[in-house]
Amino acid sequence: MSTLWAGVVRQTAPAERRVAVVPTAVAGLRGAGFEVLVQAGAGAGARYTDQDYTDAGASVLSEEDLYARADVLLSVTAPDPAVLRLLRPGQALMGLLRPLAEPRLIRDLAAAGITAISLDGVPRTLSRAQTMDALSSQASVAGYKAVIVAAEAYDRYLPLLMTAAGVARPAQILVLGAGVAGLQAIATAHRLGAVVSGYDVRPEAQEEIRSLGADTLDLPAVTEATASGGYARALTGDEQRTQREALAAVMGRFDIVIATAQVLGGPPPLLVDEDALRALRPGAVAVDLASGPLGGNVYGSRPGETTYTKNGVAVIGAAELAATVPRAASEAYARNIGALLTHMTREGRLHIDLDDEIQAGVVITHEGGVMHPAAAKAVAALAPDSDEPPDTHTAADTTLDGGGYGPRSA
C-alpha cells in the first residue's frame, strides 16, 4: 500500500503562532498510515522544537525539501502567495484558506493544478464532521481569550470580593452574539465570577445563554432571525436601527462588552454604535471579535489595535485571538485537520469525492478547476488577468471572516 506524505508548513502571516500539527498528534497520523514531514521551525510560535517533532516520529526538512516531498501540505491559514512557486501540479494544500476572501489565491491554486481543501467549508451541523470543525475549535479559543483580554484591560475585579478593605462589586459583562465564541466567552466570564448577560438574535440561542448561568438581554424581539445552517440572517435596516437604539439604552449598565456577532455571507453587523459607546462609563472595555477589513460590531474598532474613546472607553479590535493562545488552538486544530485528512484518504492517496457531503464543502480547487460554486463565483468576479481585487460590492457580498462560507449552493 502506498503512503501519503503529509507536510506541515511553517506559518508566515504576521502574529500567527499556531501550527497545523502538534508533536502529540504525529503518532496518531502515523498510526493512520501517514508519514509526517515538518518544515524546520514550524512549531516555534507555539514553542514546539524541531526535536519535539523528530522525537514524535516526524522528519524535519527545509522549506524546499518539504514542498518537494509532501503530497499534502497542512497549514493553519492561507500561505503566502510566494510559496506557490514551490507547489507542483497534483499536490494538495489543506487549511483555513478563506476562499471567498482570497479569490486570487484560489484562482492561482487552480491554475497551478493544486487541490485546495479548506476547513472553513466543513458542514457545521453534520455530527460526523464535528471533529473536523476548525471554525468552532478556533472560535472557542477566541471566545475564552476575549474574556482574558477584557480582564487585562479592565481597571477593577471581575468577581465579587469581600475583603477587610471593603467589598468589590462584580463586573457586569455583556456578550453580544452567542455562537461558539460568544458561548465560550459567557462560560469563561461566568467562571471568573462576573455577572454575565448574553444577547443573540437567534431564538434558539436564548436557552443556551441561560444554561451557562447568564441572563438574556431583553430587547425588542427580532423574529425569524435564523437563516440556513443555524446561522443568523442579516437584519433589515429598520431592525438594525431598533437593535442599536435598544442596546445603547442599556449599555450604561455594563463594564465590559464582548462582541462576537457575524452574519453568513456579509459584513459583521454594527451593534455598539457611537451613542452606545458614549453610554459606557470611563474605564469600560469593549472587545470586538468581529473587527476586520469589512468593519466590526463596535464603532471605530480597528483590527489588532486598542483605541480609546474621548470618555475613556477601551475599544479592542481582536480579530485573530485564537493565534494568541497558540498551543491550545494548535492542539485542537491538529485534531480537526487530522480527522479531515483521514476522512479524505483511501489506501495512501487522497480520494476526492464531491458526492460526499463533507468533501463537497471543503474541496475548493481540483485538477485545474474551481470546484466549489461560491468560490467559483468569487473567482469569476475577478477582473481577467488582474491582480486587483474584485469590485467592492461583490467582495463584500461573498467575503466572510470567521463564519464559514456556507453550502455549495451559496
Catalytic residue numbers, as ranges:
124, 130, 133, 136, 231
Nearer to ligand NAD, 390 or 402 (CB): 402
Taking CB under 6 A as the rule, does residue 251 contact ligand NAD? no
Taking CB under 6 A as the rule, does residue 103 contact ligand NAD? no
Taking CB under 6 A as the rule, does residue 7 contact ligand NAD? no
Among 260, 301, 330, 359, binds ligand NAD (CB under 6 A): 260
Taking CB under 6 A as the rule, does residue 261 contact ligand NAD? yes
- Give the residue closest to ligand NAD by C-beta: 179
In whole angstroms, how close is the CB of 108 to ligand NAD at the nearest point? 28
Interatomic CA distance for residues 186 and 160, integer angstroms = 17
Interatomic CA distance for residues 128 and 240, integer angstroms = 36
Nearer to ligand NAD, 57 or 295 (CB): 295
Among 46, 93, 205, 340, binds ligand NAD (CB under 6 A): 205
In whole angstroms, how close is the CB of 183 to ligand NAD at the nearest point? 8
In whole angstroms, how close is the CB of 21 to ligand NAD at the nearest point? 22
Taking CB under 6 A as the rule, does residue 136 contact ligand NAD? yes
- The secondary structure of the chain, three-state, reads CCCEEEEECCCCCCCCCCCCCCHHHHHHHHHCCEEEEEECCCCHHHCCCHHHHHHHCCEEECHHHHHHHCCEEEEEECCCHHHHHHCCCCCEEEEECCCCCCHHHHHHHHHCCCEEEEHHHCCCCCHHHHHHCHHHHHHHHHHHHHHHHHHHHCCCCCCCEEECCEEECCCEEEEECCCHHHHHHHHHHHHCCCEEEEECCCCCHHHHHHHCCCEECCCCCCCCCECHHHCECCCCHHHHHHHHHHHHHHHHHCCEEEECCCCCCCCCCCCECHHHHHHCCCCCEEEECCCECCECCECCCCCCCEEECCCCCEEEECCCHHHHCHHHHHHHHHHHHHHHHHHHEECCEECCCCCCHHHHHHEEEECCEECCHHHHHHHHCCCCCCCCCCCHHHHHHHCCCCCCCCCCCC
Among 25, 134, 142, 176, binds ligand NAD (CB under 6 A): 176
Among 125, 211, 236, 311, binds ligand NAD (CB under 6 A): 125
Among 45, 99, 403, 406, binds ligand NAD (CB under 6 A): 403
Nearer to ligand NAD, 138 or 345 (CB): 138
CA 292 distance to own-chain centroid: 12
Nearer to ligand NAD, 142 or 395 (CB): 142
24 neighbors 55 (Cβ within 8 angstroms): no
Taking CB under 6 A as the rule, does residue 143 contact ligand NAD? no
Among 79, 95, 179, 292, binds ligand NAD (CB under 6 A): 179
Which one of the spans 72-80, 114-122, 131-139, 335-343 is the region binding ligand NAD (CB under 6 A)? 131-139
Nearer to ligand NAD, 116 or 222 (CB): 222
Taking CB under 6 A as the rule, does residue 262 contact ligand NAD? yes
In whole angstroms, how close is the CB of 204 to ligand NAD at the nearest point? 7
Among 106, 117, 180, 316, binds ligand NAD (CB under 6 A): 180
Which one of the spans 37-45, 63-71, 122-130, 303-311 is the region binding ligand NAD (CB under 6 A)? 122-130
- Strands of the 34-39 sheet, one edge to the other: 59-61, 34-39, 4-8, 72-77, 92-96, 115-118, 363-366, 369-370
Among 8, 139, 174, 329, binds ligand NAD (CB under 6 A): 139
**Cell digits of residue 233:** 440572517
Taking CB under 6 A as the rule, does residue 232 contact ligand NAD? yes
Nearer to ligand NAD, 71 or 133 (CB): 133
Taking CB under 6 A as the rule, does residue 178 contact ligand NAD? yes
Among 37, 94, 201, 339, binds ligand NAD (CB under 6 A): 201
247 neighbors 276 (Cβ within 8 angstroms): yes
Q: Which of residues 265-304 bind ligand NAD (CB under 6 A)?
A: 269, 271
Interatomic CA distance for residues 346 and 336, integer angstroms = 18
Q: Which residues bind ligand NAD (CB under 6 A)?
A: 124-125, 130, 133, 135-136, 139, 176-182, 199-202, 205, 230-232, 235, 260-264, 269, 271, 402-403
